[in-house]
Amino acid sequence: FAGLPSLVEEDLKVAPENAPYRNKVLFDDTSFEAVNELVTSAGFADHAKLIRGFFIDTLPTLPETRYDFVNIDCDLYAPHIECLEYFYPKM
């Protein structure tokens, strides 16, 4: 809910030179409360748990369990790698 983390070298290699996200934090224009309201109004409050923070910090706080399905939608290289390294051995 604070926007995306800084781009790493791998992101910059593939980002167009004029892409606005090269110099601007994206997705920082919302709040936990606003997202929680959307989840609740859509009827998913009993099926979703919102967790604040970056993947690198929050993944280790998840309960140890096996996963049958994981949808990773991180937008950037480093968070994708963090999620893959965390979830793959648990599937």
pLDDT tens-digit series, residues 2-44: 788 888 899 889 989 998 888 888 888 889 999 999 999 999 9
pLDDT of res. 7: 85
Residue 1 lies in a domain: no
> How many structural domains compose the chain?
1
Structural domain containing residue 46: 9-90
* Helix-, strand-, coil-residue percentages of the chain, each rounded to 5: 45, 0, 55
Residue 38 belongs to a domain: yes
Classify residue 3: in a domain, yes or no: no
Question: What does the pLDDT read at residue 6?
Answer: 80
Residue 80 has what DSSP assignment?
H
Digit-coded pLDDT (tens) for 30-81: 899 999 999 999 999 999 989 998 999 999 999 999 999 999 988 889 999 9
Is residue 62 one of the residues assigned to a domain? Answer: yes
